[in-house]
Amino acid sequence: MSERLTAWAIDTRSHEGHGFIGYGWFGWKSHPHTAGCPIALFRTRAIARAHLGSVKHVNGGFPRAAAVKVQVTIATEAPR
């Protein structure tokens, strides 16, 4: 069985290949026992774009960063 959902993430678009911004960038904390997605995911493009400012800041940020639509798939295996 699998489930697919659409979300928005922030791609750093860095030349070094840093990829997507993780939830830790914003100081968000995850429960220590969760093994969930380390990428910061947003429900809407507007919310993702509202968070771009802290990612694009001049000192040490990612000035080329952009909000991008992503597909997240959760798949389960049949019991053995």
The domain locations on the chain are 2-75
pLDDT of residue 33: 57
Cα–Cα distance, 41 to 58 (Å, whole number):
23
Per-residue pLDDT 10s for the chain (80 aa) are 889 999 999 999 999 989 999 888 887 776 565 567 788 999 999 999 999 998 988 567 899 999 999 999 988 887 77
Maximum alpha-carbon separation in the chain: 52
In DSSP notation, 35-79 reads: ----B--BSSHHHHHHTHHHHH-TTTS-TT-EEEEEEEEEE-PPP
Question: Which of 32, 28, 50 is CA-nearest to residue 40?
Answer: 28
